Amino acid sequence: MSDPSIPVPDSNFSLPRYILGFILIGLAWGFTTPFIRRAARTHKPPPHPILDTP
């Protein structure tokens, strides 16, 4: 007994949509990586004295 007012989700696999999503995520990753690397290279964390004591 299914309710006819509830739409059935389309289970059709869309290959172009999958490829486009993969490319867009790759571009976003590629554009942010240089900024993350630069931030990691110039990061100077504050001293933590409790970590220096044996």
At 17, list the tokens.
């949509």
Q: 53 falls in which pLDDT band (50, 70, 90)?
A: confident
Please report the pLDDT score of residue 10 as a whole number: 64
Question: d(Cα 24, Cα 32) in Å, to the nearest integer?
Answer: 12
Q: Identify the band that residue 2 occupies on the pLDDT scale cut at 50, 70 and 90.
A: low
- Parse the chain into domains and list their residue ranges: 29-54
Confidence of residue 1 (pLDDT cuts 50, 70, 90): low
Q: With helix as H, strand as E and coil as C, how does the chain read?
A: CCCCCCCCCCCCCCHHHHHHHHHHHHHHHHHHHHHHHHHHHHCCCCCCHHHHCC
- Tens of pLDDT, residue by residue over 19-39, are 999 999 999 999 999 999 999
